[in-house]
Amino acid sequence: MANLKPAILFQALGDPTRREIFERLVKGPQAVVDLSAGLRVSRPAVSQHLKVLKDAGLVLLEQRGTRHLYQLAPEGVTAMRDYLDRLWDAALVSFKAAAEKAQKGEK
């Protein structure tokens, strides 16, 4: 299935249009037509962006007849949050280590 690798996730949300699509899906599942209405890019462009988001694991697809309903993928969001959390923790650790080292050095 999806990678859920930070590299792919951040790159996917790095594009403004893609992030706008992503944010619109917060309100609930939406079809491609509804999404492209209100966006200043063509419908094929939206399709391409959705493919990127789906491959990244940020979005899920449910086909209802001809309508393709896209919605947020919880795992994608949590994966990014986890990444930032781990990063943050690691930063705190090395910050503490540096502080203690400085203490010893001053003694």
Partner DNA sequence: GCAAAAGGTAAGCTATAACTAACCGTAAGT
Partner DNA sequence: ACTTACGGTTAGTTATAGCTTACCTTTTGC
99 binds, among a second copy, DNA, none (CB under 5 to 8 A by kind): none
Question: Could you give the count of Cα atoms lying within 13 Å of 64 in the half-sphere of its Cβ?
Answer: 9
Q: How far is the CB of 70 from a second copy (least distance, A)?
A: 13
Whether residue 60 contacts residue 71, with contact meaning beta carbons closer than 8 Å, is answered with yes
Q: Of 10, 44, 62, 95, which lies in the binding site for DNA, with binding defined by CB under 7 A? A: 44
Q: Which residue(s) pair with 68 in the sheet?
A: 63
Q: Provide the angle, in degrees to the nearest 10, between the axes of the packed helices 74-106 and 6-14.
A: 110
Q: Of 41, 47, 51, 95, which lies in the binding site for a second copy, with binding defined by CB under 8 A? A: 95
Residues that bind DNA (CB under 7 A): 14-15, 17-18, 31-34, 40-45, 47-52, 61, 64-69
